[in-house]
Amino acid sequence: MSERYDCTDPEGRAEGIPAAASAVRRGEIVVLPTDTVYGIGCDAFDATAVASVLAAKGRGRDMPPPVLIPTARTAQGLATQVPDYAQRLMEKFWPGPLTLVLKAQTSLHWDLGETNGTVALRVPAHEMTLELLGDIGPMAVTSANTTGDPAARTVDEAVGMLGESVGVYLDGGPAGEGQPSTIVDCTGETPVTLRLGAVSQDELDEALVPEPVLEAPEPDAEPAAEADATPAADPATEPDAEADVEPGGEAPAEAAETLGEWHDVSTTERPSDGASTTQ
């Protein structure tokens, strides 16, 4: 039977975070609040638990979850060949609602799904979630919803969709504004905006000045339910993501106008990137 903790109360939080950490170590999945929407997650290095997260959402391996991490420094052990512009984005927006798709370390023993050698990373700006991540390490986290339904903004909404598939629910009160994270593909020489969310294109541009920015025609908006999810994985051109995370669209990306060093193919599916995204 699922356990639920009211973490808006100091006593409930003191009990809930250790309970969630223990559940994750046992291979169970948990629901937790983030700075975007509620997420459903597990130990990123437990392939069976990751499969359970995808099953609970009704999602396949072609939409792998993003990974939430406690600090930007953690990214050094999970990603490789991180470009300078990605470092600048980390410094500007982490912790915060920006998911970065990077080339994954090839030595890692994990199975997030069909990632094509990439990983979507995010440091959430949520004190309680950071405390949990600091205890157990990287977590594969995607939006807390079943496929086709809106991402949960309250723990009650998450319970209604996910029920007993979750071991522990952490109730941190209503999620922020319910906007998903912005996702940027950082696997190539230039950044590619895969999905616009809580971080605007103008904010991204400002962080990378003096590099010029590209914006592509807006494709059909992706369903609200999948706003925090990752599109079918493919490399360095277009994912959606917390992040799944934080969490995208499912149609191939339209050719982006090349006005400079930046491509914006937000809300379209990444033509060739395999990282997940959600939060």
Q: Range with the lowest mean pLDDT among 87-96, 189-198, 203-212, 213-222?
A: 213-222
Scanning the structure block, which residue is given the tokens 């990632």? 115
Average pLDDT in the chain: 82
**Across residues 32-61, what is the average pLDDT?**
97
SS3 content of the chain, % helix, strand, coil (to 5): 25, 20, 55
- Domain ranges for the chain: 3-75+120-171
The pLDDT tens digits for 129-138 are: 999 999 999 9
Question: 218 pLDDT band (50/70/90 cuts)?
Answer: low
The fold for domain 3-75+120-171 equals DHBP synthase (3.90.870)
Q: Which residues pair with 139 in a beta bridge?
A: 43, 68
pTM: 0.79
The pLDDT tens digits for 91-136 are: 999 999 999 999 999 999 899 999 999 999 999 999 999 999 999 9
Which residues, including other chains, have CB under 8 Å from residue 260's CB and lie 6 or more apart?
211, 212, 213, 214
